[in-house]
Structure 1
Amino acid sequence: MKAVFFDLDDTLYDQLWPFRMAFDGVFPGVDTISVVDLFTKSREYSDRVFAMTESGEMPLNQMHRYRMVHAFQDLGRNISDVEADEFQRVYKEHQYKISLIPKMKRILQYLYEKNIPMYITTNGPSAHQRAKIKALDIGNWIPEANIFISSEIHHAKPDKEYFDYVTAKTNFTNAHSYMIGDSFENDILGATRAGWNAIWINTKNKEKPHPHIQPEYEVISYKQLEELIKQLF
């Protein structure tokens, strides 16, 4: 039997929405900065220190300041630590008001009716990720036991140990495991190296950071993903 493993952030829900709400709330009237560019920059900076936050070497509040202060600097604006902290407060507040992408809800229901086992595989702090999962109200499709969070299992994507751990816990062969995610570095690279099938959701038309790594499937919209799922399962 095949099984589907979903990433959480920017896969099941639109991660830009709470970010945009925070930007509009904390920096009203600022129209010289692209929210998309700011979001992209902030992700780049948080990815740089992800291992340090997972190990506890860098506290989360310090990482939040670091990524926003540097992201704004790269786009030509300086903000204070106080402004960075306020942005994170509002951002976090909206992160717990998220909802499933509509077509993703249809995909989950389709797989559920086909009796296809589904799982969530995500990096990040346990309490924070579980709060977002709770906000998505996803329990009807994916039970709590089918959630693998890096901080809970002490391995993180894209490390092979993460995928080996999940494989051992779920008892699905690599050939029958399908990883669906937006992050080429974490989801696609990790799954490919582990021998899983990889489905890359590339709605932002990003270039592959590793040209020699080729996912089994690439989609540029959730409509395409829905069509692909119906072909595969």
Structure 2
Amino acid sequence: MKSIFFDLDDTLYDQLQPFQEAYTRVFSTFTDISILELFKKSREYSDKVFALTESGEMSLEKMHQYRMINAFKDFGYSITTDEADAFQKEYKDQQYKVTLVPEMKNILQYLSSKGIPVYVTTNGPSAHQRLKLESLNLSQWLPKNNIYISSEVGYAKPHKDFFDYVNGKTNTSCSDSYMIGDSFENDIIGAHNAGWDSIWINNKNKARTIEHIHPTHETNSYQQLEELIKLLF
């Protein structure tokens, strides 16, 4: 039987929503920046130093400052560390108020009706990720022990060790595992190297960073994802 492993951020919920709310509250005077493009830039910068935060070489506070200061710099604006901190505080508060993407709720309900095992695999600090998961109210579809967080596992996506660990803990095989996520680097490359199938949710039109690696399937919207899931399973 196939098993489905969902990413959390920007997969089960739309990460732009809390980002946009925080931006409106903290940077309302900056009216000529695309919030979507700023968000994408901030993710690029956080991805660059994610390994440093996992190893403890960079604190989360410094990473949050780094990604926003550099993202704004790309748009010709200079913000202070205090402004970056104020944004992060608001952003964090908004992240604990997130809700499931409507199509994702349909997908989870559908997979549950088919008896297909569902798991969550996510990178990040344990307490932070679990609080977001609690706000999504996923208990009706998966128990808490079906959640694998990098800081608890000891490995992070895209490392093959993370995927191998999850297969071992869930008694699943790589050939029957599907990774569904938005990050080409963490979810798609990681799944490829571990021998998993993958579905890339590319609704923000990102480019593949490694040309010869392709997801098993790619969707450009949650509507497409829901249709694909119902075709595959």
TM-score bin, normalised by smaller chain? over 0.9
Distance 2:180 2:209 in 1: 17
1:87 is matched with 87
Distance 1:221 1:63 in 2: 29
Deviation per residue, 1:92-135 (Å, 9 max, x gap): 00000000000000000000111110000000010100010001
Superposition pairs of residues 15-30 of structure 1, within 5 angstroms: 15-30=15-30
Structure 1 segments of 4+ aligned residues over 2 angstroms from their partners: none
1:46 is matched with 46
Aligned residues: 233
2:134 is matched with 134
| Structure 1 residue 29: Cα displacement | 2.9
Deviation per residue, 1:7-41 (Å, 9 max, x gap): 00000000001000011000113112111111111
C-alpha RMSD over aligned residues:
0.8
Q: 2:193 is aligned with what amino acid? A: R
| Structure 1 residue 216: Cα displacement | 1.1
Q: 1:68 is aligned with what amino acid? A: M
Distance 1:215 1:38 in 2: 26
2:187 is matched with 187
Superposition pairs of residues 159-174 of structure 1, within 5 angstroms: 159-174=159-174
Q: 1:51 is aligned with what amino acid? A: A
**TM-score of the two chains, using structure 2 as the length reference:** 0.98
Q: Kindly, what percent of the aligned residue pairs are identical? A: 61
Superposition pairs of residues 1-233 of structure 1, within 5 angstroms: 1-233=1-233
Deviation per residue, 1:190-217 (Å, 9 max, x gap): 0011000111111112221111011111
Q: 1:55 is aligned with what amino acid? A: S
* SS, match of residue 38 in structure 2: helix
**TM-score of the two chains, using structure 1 as the length reference:** 0.98
Distance 1:106 1:10 in 2: 16
Q: Which structure 2 residue ranges, 5 or more long, are not aligned? A: none
| Structure 1 residue 151: Cα displacement | 0.5
